[in-house]
């Protein structure tokens, strides 16, 4: 702005000098007054009518996978889908998910009436489902695979989880050999550790699991 105004002034003065050399002092004075008025108006306009640049900080949490997208990978459905969002994902290394715990959770009807506390086994399940997003996301056809528990170690529960809490579920891959994986899980509520565990699972084909089901096709036939 200052640079362009300086060049404008130089060019204008050259023009006025030519006019003055022609002997028209009145024209020179009029042009000078016009330039002063024009400059003053430009300064006032810039001060009052051009809004300042404002930097707005984005205060929201990025979502990598929402509930609908999670259901494209995991086979779980309501009321047993226990992860709402995936907010961080480092393929082959780490995943972070969120679970919003509400009073409408069906398990609160019996655990416990008048004193709702989320069962620890369901916190472990929430860890497993979050870890499942990490492991199933690494295969070509996640809809054809399923992750099954084979072991739970070092499980500890630090504080009760109650309605209104938001679980931040952090899962880190410790080992993945063949079809067997081991993940370390930590669950936080308001930056305080609520639970932790090491989970071992095996990745299998869903078709294989169906073949091993004790329910035969004959038992599932609809009576005539």
| pLDDT tens-place string over residues 160-170 | 999 999 999 99
**One domain for residues 98 and 185:** yes
> 22: domain range?
2-48
Q: What is the pLDDT of residue 138?
A: 84
Tell me, yes or no, whether 57 lies in a domain: no
Q: Which pLDDT value is given to residue 32?
A: 55
Q: What is the per-residue pLDDT for 77? A: 95
pLDDT of residue 208: 81
pTM over 0.75: no
80 in Cβ contact with 132 (< 8 Å): no
CA pair distance 124, 185, nearest whole angstrom: 8
Contact 206, 144 (CB under 8 A): yes
Q: Are 138 and 182 in contact (CB under 8 A)?
A: no
Sign of CA dihedral 113, 118, 122, 126: positive
C-alpha to C-alpha distance for 102 and 99, rounded to whole angstroms = 9
User: pLDDT per residue over 26-77, tens digit each?
Assistant: 555 555 555 555 555 555 555 554 444 433 333 335 779 999 999 999 999 9
Task: Work out the number of other CB atoms within 10 angstroms of the CB of residue 161.
Answer: 23
Q: Are residues 15 and 93 in the same domain?
A: no
pLDDT at 179: 92
pLDDT, residue 183, reads 98
Residues 81, 189, single domain; the answer is yes
Same-domain pairing of 96 and 201: yes
Contact between 88 and 65 (Cβ < 8 Å):
no
Q: What is the pLDDT of residue 165?
A: 98
> Is the domain of 153 the same as that of 206?
yes
- Give the residue numbers annotated as catalytic, written as ranges: 111
Query: Which residue ranges of the chain lie beneath pLDDT 50?
Result: 1-5, 7-8, 10-11, 19-21, 49-60, 216-224
What's the domain count of the chain?
A: 2
Asked if residue 216 belongs to a domain, the reply is no
Classify residue 110: in a domain, yes or no: yes
């Amino acid at each position: 702005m200052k640079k362009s105004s300086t060049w404008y002034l130089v060019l204008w003065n050259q023009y006025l000098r030519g006019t003055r050399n022609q002997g028209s002092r009145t024209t020179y004075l009029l042009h000078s007054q016009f330039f002063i008025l024009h400059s003053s108006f430009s300064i006032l306009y810039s001060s009052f009518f051009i809004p300042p640049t404002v930097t707005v900080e984005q205060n929201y949490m990025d979502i990598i996978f929402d509930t609908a997208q999670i259901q494209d990978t995991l086979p779980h459905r309501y009321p047993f889908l226990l992860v709402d969002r995936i907010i961080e994902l480092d393929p082959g290394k780490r995943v972070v998910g969120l679970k919003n715990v509400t009073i409408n959770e069906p398990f609160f009807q019996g655990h416990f009436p008048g004193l709702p506390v989320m069962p620890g086994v369901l916190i472990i399940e929430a860890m497993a489902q979050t870890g499942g997003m990490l492991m199933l996301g690494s295969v070509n056809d996640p809809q054809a695979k399923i992750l099954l528990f084979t072991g739970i170690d070092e499980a500890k529960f630090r504080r009760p989880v109650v309605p209104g809490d938001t679980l931040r579920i952090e899962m880190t891959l410790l080992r993945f050999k063949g079809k067997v994986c081991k993940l370390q899980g930590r669950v936080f509520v308001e930056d305080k550790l609520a639970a932790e565990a090491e989970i071992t699972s095996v990745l299998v084909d869903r078709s294989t699991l169906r073949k091993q089901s004790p329910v035969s096709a004959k038992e599932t036939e609809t009576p005539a």
